[in-house]
Amino acid sequence: MNIFEIAQLISSVLFILALRGLSSASTAIRGNQYGIAGMALIAIAHFAMSSFNLSASTYTISAILIAGTIGYIIAKKINMTALPQLVAAFHSLIGLAAVFIACAIFSSPEMFDIITTEDMMPILNSVELSLGTAIGAITFTGSIVAFAKLSGLIKGTHRFKHQNKINLLIGILILFSTLMFVNIQDIASLGAIILLSFALGYFMIMPIGGADMPVVVSMLNSYSGWAAAGIGFTLDNNVLIIVGALVGTSGAILSDIMCKAMNRSLISVIFGNGSKEQVSQKKEEKGNVKVCAPEDAGFILRNSESVIIVPGYGMAVAQAQHTLKELADILKSNGTTVRYAIHPVAGRMPGHMNVLLAEANIPYEDVFELDEINHDFGATDAVIVVGANDITNPAAKNDPTSPIYGMPILDVEKAKVVLFIKRSLASGYAGIDNSLFYQANTMMVLGDAKKVVENIVKEIS
């Protein structure tokens, strides 16, 4: 075993430790540090073991420095509200990188130590190359569409006639092109794989509704991992294989967990049949909306023994997490029990709310998942809902015509008082009205979440 292979082994272990660390908010920083160390080690080992070529090394180092600088600037300036679309954009780059690497391998296999016979790669290498290319291309266009949807550049769903049949036809054509490439290995069949996969990625993600976008982000994360693993097999790069498999498997598991949290099947989400963004046909009297001032909300909270805070995308938009912590600290000092309830698909990506709360240094022991806290709402004096619309909508339980019907929600309506902080009575990301607004125990506190909470803090203080 040479030095490079030892470095690969150590890096692989570090990446495994990184994934383990990222599984908990309390160890996430350490997990990131393991991942950075693993990447740095394998990069240094690569330069140390490769035949030194001044021109090639200059290009490589320049690319790393330029890309690293761009990534650093983006990471420093990005708002937490834009984090989901940033993740989608990064996934697209991984997919595109897989396509570019595949094209480079095809054009010059000898540069990647692939032995050819009569200008033909071994069959196994061509199969690996085809799979990596197809998955990478699907990931690229799918992630671009996800980015556009999350950024608001594409609004709503875009279903088209016979969409699943068209997707199936494109899939069959990709398979046929793959078989052609394996047997002939010409530029036409490789180009067909790339173009058809680009099209499939686009058509797969366009019909998916807003309520399912957190699952889409997780799913695309899985695709990017499998694309990396496929190219890793072609390059005989153990680190790329291991990292790709880790990302692909963890993304698939997370997607399945989130689908169960939404009472959907992964297949229905993938094929755009998960959430139908339609208006509910259920006819019922909505009732009146009770609107209260922050001062009234402060009075209610000051006289509450138990409070549960439910964060949503509205909190992210207003950057209200720090102010919420201040409110929670004041309530705790008065003897009030304060906890946070997190829905698995709150926000626009997996763990979105957890990241925001961790940023505000909210204690991990105060944060509870849906299954852990849902049964406690009935015994809670007051619930503060901060822009969490669809995940608190009772229509998911009592309106069979609703597009979110069957999705487990936080049972906030069972609390004695629900203080719903929101800019307006507009619908949530799923595009439907929230019947919680009209319940007798709900009081709407309209306005920017951060400003509203600041006023509540002043009242309680």
Domain locations in the chain as residue ranges: 78-270, 294-460
> Residue 310's beta-bridge partner residues?
385
- Rounded to an integer, what distance in angstroms lies between the CA atom of residue 306 and that of residue 301? 9
- Indicate the DSSP class of residue 117: B
List all residues 6 or more positions away from 81 whose beta carbon is below 8 Å from its beta carbon: 313, 316, 317, 319
Phi then psi for residue 387, to 5 deg, are 70, 20
- pLDDT for residue 46: 79
- The active-site residue out of 256, 371, 390, 411 is 390
Question: Which amino acid, residue 90?
Answer: F
193: Cβ contacts below 8 Å, ≥ 6 apart: 130, 133, 134, 137, 174, 177, 178, 181
Q: Which CATH number fits domain 294-460: 3.40.50.1220, 1.10.10.10, 3.40.1440.60, 1.10.150.80?
A: 3.40.50.1220
Of the candidates 381, 386, 377, the one whose C-alpha atom is nearest the C-alpha of residue 420 is: 386
In order, the DSSP letters of 321-369 are HHHHHHHHHHHHHTT-EEEEEE-TT-SSSTTHHHHHHHHTT--GGGEEE
- What pLDDT is stored for residue 303 in this prediction? 93
Outline where DSSP puts E strands in 111-158: none
Q: Say what the pTM is.
A: 0.77
Residues whose CB is less than 8 angstroms from the CB of residue 264 and which lie 6 or more positions away in sequence, other chains included: 212, 215, 274, 275, 406, 407
Q: Is 343 helix (H, G, I), strand (E, B) or coil?
A: coil
What type of residue sits at position 7? A
Strand partners, 446: 422
**pLDDT value of residue 52:** 54
Phi-psi region of 272 (alpha: psi -120 to 50; beta: other; left: phi over 0): left
Please name the helix (run of DSSP H) or strand (run of DSSP E) that holds residue 368, with its range, or none: strand 367-369
Token pair 């963004």: residue: 277
Q: How far apart are CA 23 and CA 7, in angstroms?
A: 25
Contact at 8 Å (CB) between 116 and 109? yes
Per-residue pLDDT of the chain (461 residues; tens, 9 = 90+): 678 888 889 999 999 999 888 877 778 889 999 999 999 998 888 777 765 556 667 777 888 899 989 988 988 888 767 778 888 888 899 999 999 999 999 998 888 878 878 778 889 889 989 999 999 999 999 999 988 888 878 776 666 777 888 889 999 999 999 999 999 999 999 999 999 999 999 998 888 766 677 788 888 889 999 998 988 888 888 888 999 999 999 888 888 887 776 667 777 666 655 444 444 444 444 668 899 999 999 999 999 999 999 999 889 888 899 999 999 999 999 999 999 999 988 877 777 888 888 888 898 899 999 989 999 999 999 999 998 888 899 988 888 888 778 888 999 999 999 999 998 888 776 677 898 999 999 999 999 999 999 999 999 98
- How are strands ordered across the β-sheet holding 306-311? 367-369, 337-342, 306-311, 382-386, 417-422, 442-446
Closest C-alpha to 323, from 363, 373, 357, 364? 357
366 is catalytic: no
What count of Cα atoms within 13 Å lies in the side-chain half-sphere of residue 19?
Answer: 16
Q: Let me know: does 78 contact 86? Beta carbons within 8 Å.
A: yes
What's the rounded Cα separation, in Å, for the pair 75 and 293?
37
CA dist 343 and 410 (Å) reads 7
H or E segment and range at residue 204: helix 187-205
Helices 83-107, 213-235: inter-axial angle, 10-degree rounding:
20
Q: Are 15 and 42 in contact (CB under 8 A)?
A: no
Distance, in Å, from the CA atom of 157 to the CA atom of 221, rounded to the nearest integer, reads 21
C-beta separation of 290 from 419 below 8 A:
no
Residue listed under structure tokens 């049964």: 375
